Amino acid sequence: LAVSGDFTRTSGFRDATTLRAGGAVRIHGISKSFGSLKVLDGIDLNLPAGSVTAILGPSGSGKSTLLRAINHLERVDGGFISVDGDLVGYEQKGDVLYELKEKDILKRRADIGMVFQSFNLFPHLTVLENLIEAPIQVRGVSREEAIQLAQELLARVGLSDKINAYPRQLSGGQQQRVAIARALALRPKVLLFDEPTSALDPELVGEVLDVIKELARTGTTLVIVTHEIGFAREVADTVVFMDGGHILEAGSPARIFNGAEHPRTREFLAKVL
């Protein structure tokens, strides 16, 4: 096997090729520093297709950086991630691993939906226009097809009547449901949520969590950074606790919430429960 481009992490390359088989998201030994601050330090995680993973941890523990790495918004310093068999940031041709060019990274990124705390809808576009923009531009689907999918998705998140509204005319909860529909409009293989309810008034949290629960039931692979413990307990297959760029422990909700082994996990849960 040979390596092309400025790819220098040859020691992990064999792992990279074995990563390509199997689960929807596989993370192997990734690390990331900002200057001298090590934000991710040897993260391993295997998320089967259709699984729901909740990531918990104190502020600054590396949760957002991990999501951004899966989406290639952040380039890792070491290790590998694969999504549905594709190595994030690389393409394998024969025996050679090539670093992807920016335009190919953008194409790949469309396979991974991301929903942020702050909704991030285009303020000058209607709900419909927000939903059809990327499918037309990135996927090259026809306008008619994009509109039909947008209508289906708005029905799914309970907002058919808001199709011609502008984001500022919607509540935070409604905006976040539109943001989820917009992510789904690209038919992603995986959907990442970074604290999707943290910016919402308490009475609007439930309607957004209900939409995510529905996605979980229909077998979409979900990764959700959240402080909503009740939600994680009910919906997640696996709960992951991060601290200081490490995964301190991971397991079923019952195991983590009733029998966390690590003192840091117990301390964190005592604060948020």
Residues that bind Mg ion (CB under 5 A): 63-64
Q: How far is the CB of 55 from ligand ADP (least distance, A)?
A: 8
Among 19, 23, 45, 65, binds ligand ADP (CB under 6 A): 65
Number of residues that bind ligand ADP (CB under 6 A): 10
Q: Is the dihedral of CA 206, 212, 217, 223 positive or negative?
A: negative
Return the residue nearest Mg ion (CB atom): 64
Distance (Å, rounded) from C-alpha 124 to C-alpha 7?
41
Q: How far is the CB of 141 from Mg ion (least distance, A)?
A: 32
Choose among ligand ADP, Mg ion, none what residue 59 binds, the Cβ cut-off being 5 to 8 Å by kind.
Answer: ligand ADP
Residue with smaller CB distance to ligand ADP, 114 or 186 = 114
Site for ligand ADP, residues 15 to 44, rule: CB under 6 A: 34, 39
Residue with smaller CB distance to ligand ADP, 130 or 197 = 197
Q: Rounded to 5 degrees, what are φ and ψ at 250?
A: -145, 145
Residue with smaller CB distance to Mg ion, 19 or 232 = 232
Task: Locate 214 and state its tokens.
Answer: 């529905």
Among 64, 220, 238, 265, binds ligand ADP (CB under 6 A): 64
Please check whether residue 146 is in contact with residue 134, taking contact to mean a CB–CB distance below 8 angstroms.
no
Among 8, 11, 36, 59, binds ligand ADP (CB under 6 A): 59
Distance (Å, rounded) from C-alpha 100 to C-alpha 31?
19
* DSSP strands (E only) in the chain: 2-3, 25-34, 37-47, 52-56, 78-83, 86-87, 90-93, 96-99, 112-115, 190-194, 221-225, 238-243, 246-251
Residue with smaller CB distance to ligand ADP, 61 or 221 = 61
Distance (Å, rounded) from C-alpha 207 to C-alpha 220?
18
Task: Check binding of 226 to ligand ADP (CB under 6 A).
Answer: no
Distance (Å, rounded) from C-alpha 97 to C-alpha 13?
9
Q: How far is the CB of 159 from Mg ion (least distance, A)?
A: 26
